[in-house]
Structure 1
């Protein structure tokens, strides 16, 4: 930039000096020409006073006039020319044969009485200023003065002008460079600041000159622009962070694609839901069957420009997704929200199964009760037969009572968030009470029950709930056992957790039944369960009790070898023990 400005100033200096020289040269040349013309006019006027000798001896008269002028210090050439243009006498040459009638000064003298011209003489080959005057219509008296003096002055003037231009260029360069450097310093600072800003550094500012000139105004405007841009980008980043946090915190997947079907953005939930851990921005949705289904939906929405809501299957048979897609940016891209409705579908299925199971469980005893009543109404029944039907009625009514009681217990457990009746309680004492309560049932089925529980093992539970948990587990271990079998209960602390195991040597559970074992009304062997009077809710109640008090339950089983149910409950803390 400095070189350009120095060069520009030099060009301006050259042009300025050249124009000044030309004007000055024209003025000097005009002044010299005027002065020479005035001198020639004076010579012509004096020479024309006495023309009597022109006809007698024109060459001698011309030579005499020339010598007289030369003595007076004037180098003026005198020519006497006839009206026909022939040179009759010339002070510089003895004989000139060339006709001068068509010389510019002669032609001009014919018209106006006196004429002038500047040219190089064809006879002497020197540059002259010619002045001609017509005398008595017979002669032309011409005076010529060499322009050597004027040409010398003009050459000196041109030399001086060249030197002045050169000096002016040097002065302009030396004076311009510091001035340009100082002038361009704010612009360089603005350029550096703009480069920093282009790299993302919006904290850069430029110093503002105290002078209220254009550069200072530009610097202030630049700083204001940077502050505004920094605030806008900060707000944009803040909003982007909020949006990113919102998208990443969503339980649904959010996915956007462009008109060609390539990914514009997505949240992490999309990778989890659609099982595509390697999905990246700008990828095409073709790496799996699920992604292809989503891509088809988005492509249809992009073409139609209308929103769409559709259900698709996931990677596994249990997975179900809802894809809601809508065009954005005038159809240039499509946004999709992917929701996992697998749990909802499972809950709907469980509800349907629950209704069916409840209906079935209620229908069987009610059918038996109604049949018994109908038979009792008929006449001719002896006392023994009536007693049998009364026993059937009592048994089915008790079965209904147990079913309703278990359903009420399960409903209460599901609605409870915490149990205010919870207190530190001994696991050993609770297990002992449950074993004693079921001793007659165990003896009836020829099952021996043993327990080995750490006496110091305390958990924070409601006594009734904990006893209900162990009673259900031990009762199942007894009823689904072989005659002569065995049930063993053990309990010990493990890392702040009470681990209680109920082991039996019964019929065992097939692996395909274990995942659904704790569902309501789920039975491994429905006929055997009804035969021994089970409601199908015992294990579901056990699991809800364990979860209510911060624990869990698991099962390990082998068909024909027995099962092991493991209950884990948090140990009662010192705080709970102190309150007790």
Structure 2
């Protein structure tokens, strides 16, 4: 039996038990002592009052005879009056004797009020009707996110696929001109690389998004993570005459997956290089603060306006779309960083000022020894660090 069925039975028993109790009170002398134990009606009432969903019982006139606090929280009952939509659904349920679904979402969302409240209305006994309402806001937001994700992916994939088709047609038309064939072939290679990067990052994001905290965390040396990330980003930085500087090795360790952490830091470095003018500096620093290791990537690039800072971690969002496409950016790098940090029990923070630059700080829980301090890495630890899951 479903949870709704149990609640309906509970409320029915409560009403029947309450009616019998009142009938007994009408014929018996008043009692001043309290019963020694809880009755079934008492237990049913406690179930209704503590239910996570909103429960409202209406009589034959549509008046509220019983409701729990959750019903008021969801806005189904206000000032001991039920929502008119629920009242009309109750009338229909009495006529048809069927379960009637009804949308009780607030027409004016204010503060933390649920965005989507759905209910089922069902006849109990003797004209009594129960309204069982639940907060579906999370499910509605998740579905909206899914639709947006599918639409964004479709749009982003169409661009390189369409370009490949046009370039292939151009190669066929210019088959007798070797120079044109080489030129179009180079562009085909560029678009194919971009498409491959996009698919790889989509797969990585799909694996990370919605995942719980990583079940097996190992000690990862922060200096090794920074060294590997620098190795990945050095070629792109040298191509635009950007020097990436770092502070001294720290010996700090974090709890996590080395492969994922290197990917996150590489994405931050690539982002800093892509949005910085040629010849400008990019720096990486590390420190331990309140049980977290912070790895900060600072650039002197174009910066990010305050109204855009909350959106840069969204999928496919680009601060400068023209520059991002010119560099082959997919708009997924920072979204991947956010989810890697979250899956490690950490976060990524941003400080930025247009025209001055940006600092992205990756915060990951520090590795703790028995005494509660970060342990210094030993040579054997560094040599035996196990690689985590592949992207």
TM-score exceeds 0.5? yes
The 2-side partners of 1:391 and 1:296 are apart by 66
Corresponding residue SS for 1:535: coil
| Structure 1 residues 325 and 372: alpha-carbon distance in aligned structure 2, compared to 1, 3 A threshold | same
Give the TM-score taking structure 2 as reference length: 0.75
Higher normalized contact order (CA 8 Å, seq sep 6+, divided by chain length): 2
Change (3 A) 1:554 1:259: farther
> For 1:517 and 1:264, how far apart are their aligned partners in 2?
50
The equivalences for 1:6-405 within 5 A come to 198-202=31-35, 230=36, 233-245=38-50, 247=51, 250=52, 252-258=53-59, 263-274=64-75, 283-285=79-81, 295-304=83-92, 305-306=94-95, 307-314=99-106, 315-316=108-109, 319-332=115-128, 334-379=129-174, 381-405=176-200
Structure 1 residue 301: Cα displacement: 3.1
Q: In 2, Cα distance between the equivalents of 1:514 and 1:271?
A: 36
Distance 1:511 1:549 in 2: 27
Query: Match of 1:551?
Result: 346
> Paired residue for 2:281?
486
**Alignment correspondent of 2:299:** 504
More off after superposition, 236-245 vs 403-412: 236-245
Quick one: structure 1 residues 563 and 310, their matched pair in 2 at CA, closer, same or farther if it must change by over 3 Å? farther
Tell me the C-alpha RMSD between the 2 structures: 3.3
Residue number among 198, 215, 234 corresponding to 1:439 in the alignment: 234
> Does the 8 Å CA contact 1:509/1:558 hold for their aligned counterparts?
yes
Pick closer, same or farther for the CA change 1:255–1:201 going to 2, 3 Å.
Answer: closer
Give 1:298 shift: 2.5
| 1:524 alignment partner, SS class | coil
CA positional deviation for 1:258: 4.8
Determine the C-alpha separation between the residues in 2 that align with 1:331 and 1:509.
61
The alpha-carbon deviation at position 552 of structure 1 amounts to: 1.9
CA gap of 1:303–1:235, structure 2 versus 1, over 3 A, is closer
Answer whether contact 2:175 2:181 (CA < 8 A) is retained: no
Query: Does the 8 Å CA contact 1:523/1:536 hold for their aligned counterparts?
Result: yes
* Unaligned ranges ≥5, structure 2: 1-27, 382-391
Pick closer, same or farther for the CA change 1:474–1:200 going to 2, 3 Å. farther
Pick aligned residue for 1:526 from 321, 331, 335: 321
Q: How many residues align?
A: 340
1:543 shift after superposition: 1.6
Give me the whole-angstrom Cα distance separating, in 1, the residues matched to 2:260 and 2:152. Answer: 25
TM-score w.r.t. length of structure 1: 0.52
Partner of 1:73: none
Q: CA deviation at 1:535?
A: 1.5
Contact 2:220 2:256 in 1 (8 A): yes
Structure label with greater radius of gyration: 1
Q: Contact 2:299 / 2:358 at 8 angstroms: preserved in 1?
A: yes
Per-residue deviation, 1:419: 4.7
Q: Is the 8 A contact 2:57 2:65 kept in 1?
A: yes
Structure-2 change in CA distance of 1:542 and 1:556 (3 Å): same
Give the structure with the higher percent helix: 1
Cα offset for 1:241?
3.3
Per-residue deviation at 1:452?
Answer: 3.2
TM-superposition CA deviations, 1:264-314 (whole Å, max 9, x none): 4434434444499xx6xxx334xxxxxxxx611122134442543222443
Paired position in structure 2 for 1:459: 254
Give 1:234 shift: 4.2
Q: Which runs of 5+ in 1 are unaligned?
A: 1-193, 203-229, 286-293
1:496–1:571 CA contact under 8 A, matched in 2: yes
Structure 1, residues 22-52: CA drift from partner, whole Å, max 9, x if none? Answer: xxxxxxxxxxxxxxxxxxxxxxxxxxxxxxx
Given that 1:301 and 1:327 are in contact with CA atoms closer than 8 Å, whether structure 2 keeps it comes out as: no
Q: CA deviation at 1:550?
A: 1.6
